[in-house]
Amino acid sequence: MTAVARTLTLSAVVTFTALITTLGATPQTDPFQPLREDARMHEGLTVIAVGRQVHEACPSIEARLLRALSFAETLNNHAETLGYSRSDVRAYIDSRAEQDRYTEVAKAYFEQRGYDWDDAESVCALGRAEIEARSQIGRLLRD
């Protein structure tokens, strides 16, 4: 084997080994996992999911749309500090899997407080309680 052939063979082996090592070391993670694990994002999206249910199920309670948009914008800005673009955030919140996940989170919020997600009167009662308590959810709603 000539010196050139040995050099090419060695280069090929090194390149192949580096490629295999890199592929093995590269985690195949979900790009949205940091958003899911961020407490501020989780709490904020829970607020939005609960508020949306109250607004949709209870005709006597209205959403404060400007406040809701402003609140959503603060979440978007926070996501940008985590390295996500606006289109990334849009993809995350538009994801059917994430919407389903936050529906379950919101249902648990209702249940933990003794309210029934499927009963309009109970949903309204939770909404009024949140408004009265001036919670973040309550600040996004108006009775």
> In this predicted structure, what is the pLDDT of residue 13?
42
CA distance 69 to 74: 9
Q: Which residues of 21-36 are buried (b: 16+ CB within 10 A; e: fewer)?
A: eeeeeeeeeeebeebe
**What is the reported pLDDT for 56?**
95
Find the DSSP H helices in 26-135.
Answer: 33-37, 39-57, 65-81, 86-94, 96-112, 120-133
Residues in the chain: 143
pLDDT of res. 1: 61
Q: Where in the chain are the domains?
A: 1-27, 31-142
**pLDDT (0 to 100) of residue 31:** 86
Successive 10-residue mean pLDDT values, the chain, 143 residues: 45 42 51 91 96 95 94 95 93 92 96 96 97 97 94
User: What are the backbone dihedrals phi and psi of residue 30, each rounded to the nearest 5 degrees, phi first?
Assistant: -75, 130
**pLDDT for position 102:** 94
For position 30, what pLDDT does the model report?
A: 82
What pLDDT is stored for residue 7 in this prediction? 40
Rg (alpha carbons) of the chain, rounded to whole number: 24
